[in-house]
Chain A
């Protein structure tokens, strides 16, 4: 199993350009998440999904949109990139439930985004 994969690994954008980050998981997880990680800030939740066709806002959703058309994929879109969106983006997935294995989140390797 590949676990959680993210594409691309690295991208440079100019201000105002758009792009889509792709997250894929092969663990049949219901829940998926997008985080951004900035120096000294830890990880902050952007958007999340509790199932195919559903999305919800996290702590820092402004400037981002998401879609979950297939259970295994969770897309993060930047419609008009800004320098403030320079960050490392992580996708994660988990199962619903209250067992430890279900509450654990599995992370992808990250996408480094630089907006000039």
Chain B
């Protein structure tokens, strides 16, 4: 079964840091492009970051550039998101997802992890 399981969420004070992990199983993680997507409770979805299979390419949305760092360990089949200088605006459920792309350049997020809540509050 293809599965992604996030961990590492919790309550953190403004200005603090947190590292999220996403453990993959059931597919070839080392050849998969991965992403983080977040969702403010009760709101819509927002792409946060992406990383290529070899870690050579990393991408971030503007609002997290310089504060968030995406990485991966292919030997452990794990994706990470290091978050620093956190603010209330970063409070959200964070999902990891595999980005699938085929010969026709049809890209999609599949599957998704169950999500982990990050709450930034004093």
The answer on A and B forming one complex is no
- By a beta-carbon cutoff of 8 Å, the part of chain B in contact with chain A is none
- By a beta-carbon cutoff of 8 Å, the part of chain A in contact with chain B is none
